[in-house]
Structure 1
Amino acid sequence: MQERRSLRDYIALSGKGMMMGAADAVPGVSGGTIAFMMGIYEELIFSLKQFGPTAVLMLFREGPVAVWKHVNGSFLLTLISGILFSLLTISHVVLYWLAEYPELLWSFFFGLILASVWSVCRHIDLWDRNTYTSFIVGVVTAYFVTSMSPTSLEVTPLFIFLSGMVAICAMILPGISGSFILLLLGMYAPILMAIKNLELVTLSLFVGGCIVGLLSFSRVLSWMFSSFKTTTFALLGGFMLGSLNKVWPWKYTTAYTINRHGEEIPLVQENISPFSFESLTGEPALLMYSLLLMIVGVLMVVVIEKMGRKSEV
Structure 2
Amino acid sequence: MSTHEDERSVPLSWLVLYLKGICMGAADAVPGVSGGTIALVTGIYERLISAVTAITPDRIGRVLGGVVPGRRNDAVDALREVDAGFLVVLGAGIATAIITVTRVLTVAIDQFPVPTFGFFFGLIAASAIVLYAQVSLEGTRQLVAAVAGFTVAFVASGSVGTALGNSLSVTVVAGAIAVSAMILPGISGSLLLLLLGQYEYMTGTLSEFVDTLIDVVTGGPVSALVEPGTIVVAFIAGALVGLFTIAHAVRWALEHYRRPTLAFLVSLIVGALRAPVVKTTEKLGELGQSWSLELFGIFALAAVVGAILVLLVDRYTEVIES
Give TM-score, length-normalised by structure 2.
0.70
- Look up the SS of the partner of 1:128 in the other structure: coil
SS in 2 for 1:248: helix
2:25 is matched by which residue type in structure 1?
Answer: M
Give the secondary structure class of the aligned counterpart of 2:93.
helix
Q: Could you say what secondary structure the match of 2:134 adopts?
A: coil
Distance 1:43 1:121 in 2: 26
Displacement of 1:150 in angstroms is 1.2
Offset at residue 152 of structure 1 (A): 7.4
Partner of 2:150: 139
Gaps of 5+ in 2: 1-11, 64-70, 214-224
Does the Cα contact within 8 Å between 2:174 and 2:198 map onto a contact in 1? no
Higher mean displacement: 10-19 or 232-241: 10-19
Q: Does 1:252 align with 2:281?
A: yes
The 5-angstrom pairing of residues 257-268 of structure 1 reads none
Q: Do the aligned partners of 1:163 and 1:209 also contact (CA within 8 Å) in 2?
A: yes
CA 217–195 in structure 1, closer or farther in 2 if over 3 Å, else same: farther
Which of residues 18, 24, 42 is equivalent to 1:17? 24
| Identical counterparts, % of pairs | 20
Matched, 1:297 2:298: no
State which of 265, 273, 278 in structure 1 corresponds to 2:292: 278
Deviation digits for residues 169-199 of structure 1, max 9, x if unmatched?
A: 5656726634326635995344542244233
User: What letter corresponds to residue 20 of structure 1 in structure 2?
Assistant: A
> In the superposition, relative to structure 1, how do residues 230 and 127 fare at CA in structure 2: closer, same or farther (>3 Å)?
same
Give CA deviations for 1:92-150 in whole Å, capped at 9, x if unaligned: 211221112111111112111111112222223x4312223222211111111111251
The answer to whether the Cα contact below 8 Å between 1:18 and 1:84 also exists between their aligned partners in 2 is yes
- The one-letter code sitting in structure 2 at the alignment partner of 1:47 is A
Deviates more, 1:71-80 or 1:38-47: 38-47
Cα 1:222–1:58 shift into 2, 3 Å = farther
Aligned partners of 2:132 and 2:266 also within 8 Å: yes
CA contact (8 A) 1:104 1:249 kept: no
Letter in 1 for 2:193: S
Change (3 A) 1:66 1:243: same
Partner in structure 2 of residue 179 of structure 1: 193
Q: Distance in 1 between matches of 2:201 and 2:280?
A: 21
Contact 1:167 1:181 in 2 (8 A): no
Of 138-147 and 40-49, the range deviating more from structure 2: 40-49
RMSD over equivalenced CA pairs, Å? 3.8
Q: Which amino acid aligns with 2:253?
A: M
Aligned to 1:224: 253
Going from structure 1 to structure 2, the CA distance change for 1:303 and 1:57 (only over 3 Å counts) comes to same
- Contact 2:180 2:250 survives alignment (8 Å): no
Secondary structure class of the residue paired with 1:303: helix
Q: How many residues are aligned here?
A: 280
Match of 2:162 among 146, 150, 155: 150
Aligned equivalents of 1:155 and 1:137: distance in 2? Answer: 27
- 1:55 and 2:62 aligned: no
1:193 and 2:193 correspond: no
Q: Structure 1 unaligned runs (5+)?
A: 1-5, 24-28, 257-263, 270-275
SS of aligned partner of 1:51: coil
- Give the superposition deviation at 1:253: 3.5
100-109 or 199-208: bigger deviation: 199-208
TM-score by length of 1: 0.72
Cα distance in 2, alignment partners of residues 239 and 67 from structure 1 = 37
SS of residue matched to 1:183: coil
Q: CA deviation at 1:238?
A: 0.4
Q: Which has the higher strand share?
A: 1
**2:250, 2:145 → 1: CA distance?**
15
The counterpart of 1:127, out of the listed 133, 137, 147, is 137
Give the Cα–Cα distance (whole angstroms) in 1 for the partners of residues 90 and 50 of structure 2. Answer: 14
